[in-house]
Chain A
Amino acid sequence: MNIIFTVCFCLSVLALTFFSPEKTLSTLLSGGEKALELSLNLIVVYTVWLGIFSIFEKSNLSNKFAKLFKPVNKLLFGNLSEKENEYISLNISANMLGMSGATTPMGIKSILELEKRKNSDYRISMFFVLNATSIQLIPTSVIALRSSLGAINPSDIIIPTILTTMLSCVIGIILVKIFIKR
């Protein structure tokens, strides 16, 4: 991250120095403003989802639900503790259903849970790749945008999207299994 950040930052600022030096600071600040806007939005979304999840968790329903995922998780991650399995299952199912507000809080909880154990590199990497390659089943936001723009058949991208997302997920899983030691 340090290398990417430094290289992109310095190159861009260098370019700005030549073409429009007066824009340098305002660009940094407008990036910050976008982050603030996004954060305010996220506070609202996460408050709602973390609240609902807390009910889900306290009634032990999420625990029961997560048991369904145990065989698949075992295949991908190896042995998981009960809490690890629970958070990972919730994150993955929220991902699949496209409930993007719910995925991040569960994702962070999963990482915190995963890093408690030693030699968690493989499990954390697998979890990260599953999230970063996205396993959304129905691209709701794209369909909504297309239908608002008057597409003839806005949902005709569902099948290509599902196939594409499955492919990226499978490639990701295989690469993790090959390149990251358990």
Chain B
Amino acid sequence: MSAYFIPILFIAIFLYAIIKKVKPYDAFIEGAKSSVPFVLSVFPYLTAILILTELLQISGVGSLLEKILSPIFNLFGIPTELSKLVLIKPFSGSGSLAVLSEIYSKYGVDGYLARCASAIYGSSETVFYVASVYFATAKSKPPIKAIAISLIASFISFCFACLICKIL
């Protein structure tokens, strides 16, 4: 069903453009031009955040944090097996996808842990990635209160995910 959505959307956009006498090729090129400078300006931010993720993982500080925090997570109903996912999700999309597949292969793809991990992964965003990339070309800095609010809201919803997967 959803596979049809993208092609139909694109056809609609092109048809409407032709009706409105917009030249689709010229318009496409004009928009597409901005992508390289845009990614170039984002690159240093991406590098900083990925270096940090890599450092935390390789140095073992990440797993130490995991050990310290997982009893606290347990108090809120988040199983120990999922604390790595909870910790890496705000930093790295590809990193958390790797952790998710790891959970699937370790604990099976249909069990409670797998479903809970899926809900956690699917319901949240990489907060620090959004913070660095969205503000890459802006003059203002990412508001610190908003980052804190996003992290808190995500954490509460993770606890909720672990609860709801037991019921549903």
Contacts and interface: CB of A to CB of B under 8 A. Distances in A.
Interface string A162-175: 01110111011001
A39 B6 CA distance: 24
Contacts of B59: 11-13, 15-16, 19, 27
A36 B168 CA distance: 41
Interface of B is mostly: helix
B28 A54 contact: yes
Nearest to A30: B54
Chain A interface extent, by class = 35 or more
Contact of B104 (A53, A108, A128, A145): A145
Q: Per DSSP, are chain A's interface residues mostly helix, strand or loop, or mixed?
A: helix
A141 B93 CA distance: 12
Interface in A127-141: 128-129, 131-134, 136, 138-141
Nearest to B150: A132
23 contacts: A1-B141, A8-B61, A15-B59, A32-B51, A43-B35, A47-B32, A51-B32, A54-B28, A59-B19, A104-B133, A108-B137, A121-B143, A128-B134, A129-B149, A132-B130, A136-B123, A141-B122, A142-B100, A157-B122, A160-B119, A163-B164, A164-B123, A176-B146
Interface of A: 1, 4-5, 8-9, 11-13, 15-16, 19, 23, 27-28, 30-32, 34-36, 38-39, 42-43, 46-48, 50-61, 97, 99, 104-105, 107-108, 111-112, 115, 120-121, 124-125, 128-129, 131-134, 136, 138-142, 145-146, 149-153, 156-157, 159-161, 163-165, 167-169, 171-172, 175-176, 179-180
